[in-house]
Amino acid sequence: MSLLPILRYPDPRLHKVAKPVAAVDARIRTLVDDMLDTMYEADGVGLAATQVDVHECVIVIDTSDTRDRPRVLINPVLLETSDEMVLGDEGCLSVPTIYDKVPRHARISVRALGRDGLVQAFDAEGLEAVCVQHEMDHLLGKVFVEYLSALKRDRIKTKMLKKAREEQELHANAARRL
Ligand code: GNR
Ligand code: NI
């Protein structure tokens, strides 16, 4: 079990495009397990490998209330998307404290490999459908704030940079035992 550091917006590495996983081997299974630990520890409903600076197509999600239904999506593909859209409030572990509305397909059909390397296909709706779309965007280097207006995005960028500066200051002071 190990926790991985999560990249914070506006880190340029969040905009890298992930490559398909060539083989679901021991390295990928370790990555999946570490991503699940990291997602549960951070109280997230999903996590994309991009967020932990691994640029391969790996996603973990758990939208269950009981937090005991992990889903692993390796090399995910959307087979079908509903014309009907939903506008739900989204957040992101890479953009903490920011929540805003993003349009998503209400229902999707997904195909991916599981942790066992076997093909799985499933339909999703509600939060699960939203989460899969949010995570698949991460693999394409897209963060949800990019759906917002340039004005909102710039304000978020400024707020995140200020927060990062303040946290750095705090750490520097702690190191000097101030
Ligand atoms: O924890 C998360 N919650 C969430 C809420 C609404 C829509 C999407 C998400 S995903 C997010 C975790 C995360 O940042 N995944 O990339
Ligand atoms: Ni996210």
Let me know if 41 is a catalytic residue: no
pLDDT at 178: 67
Distance of CA 89 from the midpoint of ligand 1 (Å): 10
User: Is 139 in contact with 17 (CB distance < 8 Å)?
Assistant: yes
Rounded CA separation 120/97 (Å): 34
pLDDT in tens, 51-68: 999 999 999 999 999 999
pLDDT at 177: 76
pLDDT at 61: 98
pLDDT in tens, 91-109: 999 999 999 999 999 999 9
Closest approach atom of ligand 1 to CA 45? 1
User: Is 101 in contact with 145 (CB distance < 8 Å)?
Assistant: no
Q: Which two tokens stand for residue 96?
A: 């903490």
pLDDT beneath 70, residues of the chain:
178
- Beta-carbon neighbour count of residue 60 at 10 Å? 27
Q: What is the dihedral of CA 154, 155, 156, 161, to 10 degrees?
A: 90
User: For a pLDDT cut of 90, what percent of the chain falls above it?
Assistant: 96
User: Is 54 in contact with 20 (CB distance < 8 Å)?
Assistant: no
Question: Is any ligand 1 atom within 6 A of the Cβ of residue 135?
Answer: yes
Question: Is any ligand 1 atom within 6 A of the Cβ of residue 91?
Answer: yes
Amino acid at residue number 127: L
Select from 7, 71, 92 the residue to mutate for testing ligand 1; criterion: most ligand atoms less than 8 Å from CB.
92
Could you tell me the CA-to-CA distances from 135 to 1, 76, 92 in Å, in that order?
Answer: 22, 10, 10
Distance of CA 30 from the midpoint of ligand 2 (Å): 21
